[in-house]
Amino acid sequence: MAKVIFGAWDEKIFDNRGRNFFEIEEAQGFPDFDEFDAGNQIKAFMGGRGFFVFERGVDLIDAHLQYLERAAQESCGKCTPCRVGTQIICSKLEALARGKGSVADLDEIAAIAAHVRETSLCGLGQTATVPLLQNLTHFREELAREVREGRRHTRQPGMTYMTSACIEACPAKVDVPRYIDYLRDGKIVHSLGVILQKYPMAATCGRVCVRFCELACRRAQVDAPVGIKLLKRFVADHEQGLLDQLFSPELVAQKKPADLRVAVVGAGPAGISAAYHLLLAGYPVDVYEAHERPGGMAWSGIPSYRLPKEVLRNEVAIIERLGGRIFYGKRLGKDFGIKDLFADGYKAVFLGLGAHQGKKLRIPGEDPALEGYLPGVKLLLDVNRSLDEKTPMSLPGRVVVVGGGNVSMDCARSALRLGAGEVHLVYRRSKEDMPADPREVEAAEEEGVVFHFMASPSRIHSGNGRVKAIEFLAMRHTAPDGRGVRGVAPVEGSEWCLAADWLVPAIGQEVERDFLSPDDGIVFDKWGAIEANPVTLMTGRRGVFAGGDCVTGPATVIQAMAQGLKASRSIDDYLTYGRVRFFPRSRMRQLIRNIREMNQEAVETPVRHAYQVKIRELDPEVRKEIFEEVEKPISLDEAYHEASRCLRCYRIYSVITER
């Protein structure tokens, strides 16, 4: 843990200037600040809440100049204090760095910095001068000493990084404020371009994303979070025709050698994302998909009322527009093996296999062969296949769904649309503990799904080879553990039964293992997922990378696409350098996480209330009979209104390093 020589953070002052190294206590709560990368010490760190100096001899004037230059560069120009004030401060710091000016200039700089802090309209301007003000307020003599020396200041090594709470919460690190900025300015094509930098499935994600970004949005402290997902869908749908024009092999500026071929196994979100970025980087890419349709769990596991399949098809088609090839009906372990891929000349392989096998309840009486026993993953696959092939499917009688995630919600809502007389959903914890998207839970309630909480299945009753009823035990909360998390335990003698024609276990999925042979060199962990290096995503076999649900376990579309992006960068490095390089932006994100969770910051400047645009939906009594998309698009005026609610909560962070 790094030792702070001096600094200030959130008005907490650290001053160890008069002590030797061994007398300095380690700064509590700021771990992992010794090295930026191997052998490269962190000398100073700055952020929107203060600064730290970890080594004597740091050039503070240059450090603040680097920080403020980034702020001036990123200022949107919507208000004068930030746009002009940061430039004036930079010019004065630059003069001091050239050995010109006097100590009196520090007072003028302080006055301008305070004005920028107090009168800027967005988060960037409101925090851009905080490190400098903290330095001038608590350690002015350090800056004054540098000015009096009159020496010319040289540029120190380091980096600046601009982010926001919503960016850090997004698995793919999409620059949310930037695409909202472009939309607010009427540049909808540019807005879509920001999203496409991270993944190709913008319209898909705009419909099914679980909105990690909105959970972190500071606007929620005022009224309600910005409808980031709404805006993503809007720009993707608005510019849908652009995809045909934009994506072609000619888009790739520099082609890689033809022998640097990459095989992607699985055309789900992780595989499509990896293929997309590798194609843009110039690599020849072939995708092998076991099914006859692309999309993986996005196709087989998400019903059409949430994600129309035509939307998914259009976005997956980007791969072929970029020159990639997709081979359908090719299953790893049956039609080819990993050895075969390398023998065919592929130099790297990405496994984006997903987790398509439903987990069993593991209770007495469970038998998958029972009529009426229908695993959640299979139910959704059958539903989507029937809709795609226009073949009838029905689920009459009483359906009992067990689970509390998004898959269980999709199963319950799909069962209603298949003609079920009653649909009951049973979850072993409380409603507040459900991992499902709250909006999906609310939609299921509106459509008539009956919820039972704090109940766990204990036995399946059957007769004549068919499911008859499910026995449950009531659950109770246990005392919080060391992390403050409450568990659940069964209540003795609390058994109760629920008659059922259909039982749908939807408690999670796992990876099928039959696609690998013992000599493939791929190892599974204790949870049944593929073991892959968390930084590089390389498996135990050199040249084979893996990502998405087969590594993380069942997750979301955005998390899978983020894994595909991460793997593509590692594969690019592996094929170019023979190793995966250090990624400075990832290191900066780690430092930010270590110093404090960004979404804990409060909105200090008064903000006028302007509530989120209300999503129009089909009437519950109508929509539960059909698979038509439930949520309707917002209008252009509504999109502008929603974009205007963004507080542009950018924060700048910087490090000064040894080299």
* CATH number of the structural domain spanning residue 153: 1.20.1440.230
The percent of residues above 90 in pLDDT, for the chain, comes to 80
pLDDT in tens, 401-428: 999 999 999 999 999 999 999 999 999 9
Report pLDDT for 484.
Answer: 76
Q: Using a CB cutoff of 8 Å and minimum separation of 24, what contacts does 612-619 make?
A: 612/223, 612/224, 612/225, 612/226, 612/227, 612/642, 612/645, 613/227, 613/230, 613/638, 613/641, 613/642, 615/227, 615/230, 617/443
Mean of pLDDT values over 157-170: 96
Q: How many domains does the chain have?
A: 3
pLDDT band at 1 (very low <50, low <70, confident <90, very high): low
Average pLDDT, the chain: 92
Mean of pLDDT values over 129-135: 97
Report pLDDT for 656.
Answer: 97
48, 148: one domain: yes
Is pLDDT at 28 greater than 50 in this prediction? Answer: no
The span from the CA of 203 to the CA of 144, in Å, is 54
327, 380: one domain: no
Residue 614: is it exposed, middle or buried by C-beta count within 10 angstroms (0-12/13-18/19+)? exposed
pLDDT band at 599 (very low <50, low <70, confident <90, very high): low
Choice among 63-67, 394-398, 409-413, 589-593 with the minimum mean pLDDT: 589-593
18, 129: one domain: yes
Sheet with strand 325-328: strands edge to edge: 325-328, 285-289, 261-265, 346-351, 544-546
Domain boundary residue, one of 541, 564, 581: 581
pLDDT in tens, 497-535: 999 999 999 999 988 888 888 888 899 998 889 999 999
Query: Which among 300, 359, 332, 355 is positioned nearest to 550, based on CA atoms?
Result: 355
368, 479: one domain: yes
Report pLDDT for 22.
Answer: 67
Domain boundary residue, one of 581, 609, 625: 581
| 549 in any annotated domain | yes
Query: Which among 71, 74, 191 is positioned nearest to 131, based on CA atoms?
Result: 71
Other beta carbons within 10 angstroms of residue 482's beta carbon come to 5
Residue 331 to residues 79, 300, 320, 336, 349, Cα–Cα distance (Å) = 57, 16, 20, 7, 14
Is pLDDT at 245 greater than 50 in this prediction? Answer: yes
pLDDT in tens, 71-117: 999 998 888 989 999 999 999 999 999 988 899 999 999 999 999 99
| 30 in any annotated domain | yes
| 533 in any annotated domain | yes
93, 160: one domain: yes
pLDDT in tens, 542-551: 999 999 999 9
Is pLDDT at 482 greater than 80 in this prediction? Answer: no
503, 556: one domain: no
Is pLDDT at 637 greater than 60 in this prediction? Answer: yes
218 contacts 649 by C-beta, under 8 angstroms: yes
The span from the CA of 456 to the CA of 32, in Å, is 42
Domain boundary residue, one of 581, 600, 635: 581
Q: For the domain that residue 576 is a member of, what is the CATH number?
A: 3.50.50.60
| 174 in any annotated domain | no
Kind and range of the H or E run holding 231: helix 228-238
Q: Are strands 544-546 and 346-351 parallel, antiparallel or unpaired?
A: parallel
13, 161: one domain: yes
| 614 in any annotated domain | no
| 249 in any annotated domain | no
48, 154: one domain: yes
Report pLDDT for 540.
Answer: 92
Kind and range of the H or E run holding 588: helix 584-595
As a dihedral over the C-alpha atoms of residue 336, residue 337, residue 342, residue 346, rounded to 10 degrees, the angle is 60
Report pLDDT for 109.
Answer: 97
85, 138: one domain: yes
The span from the CA of 470 to the CA of 459, in Å, is 6
28, 156: one domain: yes
Query: Which among 524, 521, 198 is positioned nearest to 349, based on CA atoms?
Result: 521
Residue 267 to residues 299, 319, 564, Cα–Cα distance (Å) = 10, 10, 11
Report pLDDT for 594.
Answer: 83
347, 405: one domain: no
Report pLDDT for 452.
Answer: 98
| 639 in any annotated domain | no
The span from the CA of 107 to the CA of 136, in Å, is 9
Sheet with strand 398-402: strands edge to edge: 450-452, 422-426, 398-402, 502-505
| 600 in any annotated domain | no
Domain membership of residue 472 as a residue range: 360-507
461, 561: one domain: no
74 contacts 160 by C-beta, under 8 angstroms: no
